[in-house]
Amino acid sequence: MANYNEQYSRKRNIRALGLTSSVSLNLEDNFIDTVRKISNIEVNKSDIIAIHELPSKYVDRPKPVIIKMKNTDCKSKIMKYRKLFKEHNFKLADDITKKNLSPINRAYAKPTVDKCWYFNGSVYAKAAGRKRVRIDLFDDLETLVLSAKEEEAHRLDDSTY
């Protein structure tokens, strides 16, 4: 229950990697300018509650930045352009607890798991040709993913006309 509550409190957070800090601009202005420049999204200072750098073990890279948005709509508006930001060496990610990150890492280590992702407080996994399943912290991944129903093949036949 504690992990769920912690993840819920991070629901509006964005973790940004590659935001270069500038002497002339503070982090908030730098983030807003970068978002506007890359995606043409109108983000205001009032949309950001807090923003600060996190410690990093890499000296040669920019420090990760955590941004707490006003609401999930503001966050979703920005996160829709995640691929576009990645093309500009500016990676955006959900702020996930370590406990929720562990099933994702375990899933990627399994050859049976094709995809794994985090969405709206839950972790999901999918094997090739099977439906997605929701993963809990202590689930047996292989059993859960392989027991998922197979996806139905969507095909047109003569009886549909």
pLDDT recorded at residue 23: 61
pLDDT recorded at residue 123: 87
Does residue 156 surpass a pLDDT of 50?
Answer: no
Sheet containing 91-94: which strands, arranged edge to edge? Answer: 48-53, 65-69, 13-17, 91-94
pLDDT recorded at residue 24: 56
Alpha-carbon distance of 116 to 114, in angstroms, equals 7
pLDDT recorded at residue 151: 64
Instruction: For the chain, give the mean pLDDT.
Output: 84
The tally of domains found in the chain comes to 2
| Domain housing 89 | 2-94
Domain boundary among 57, 75, 94: 94
160 part of a folded domain: no
More confident residue, 52 or 157: 52
H or E segment and range at residue 28: helix 27-39
Q: Do residue 85 and residue 129 come from a single domain?
A: no
Q: Do residue 89 and residue 104 come from a single domain?
A: no
Q: Do residue 87 and residue 30 come from a single domain?
A: yes
Q: Do residue 86 and residue 124 come from a single domain?
A: no
- CATH code assigned at 71: 3.30.70.330
For residue 31, how many other CB atoms are within 10 A of its CB? Answer: 22
Does residue 159 surpass a pLDDT of 70?
Answer: no
Using CA atoms in the order 86, 92, 98, 100, what is the torsion angle rounded to 10 degrees?
Answer: -90
Over residues 113-133, the pLDDT tens digits come to 888 888 887 888 888 888 888
Nearest to 64 by CA among 31, 99, 41: 31
Domain boundary among 74, 94, 114: 94
Q: Do residue 6 and residue 56 come from a single domain?
A: yes
Strand positions, DSSP E, 18-74? 48-53, 65-69
152 part of a folded domain: no
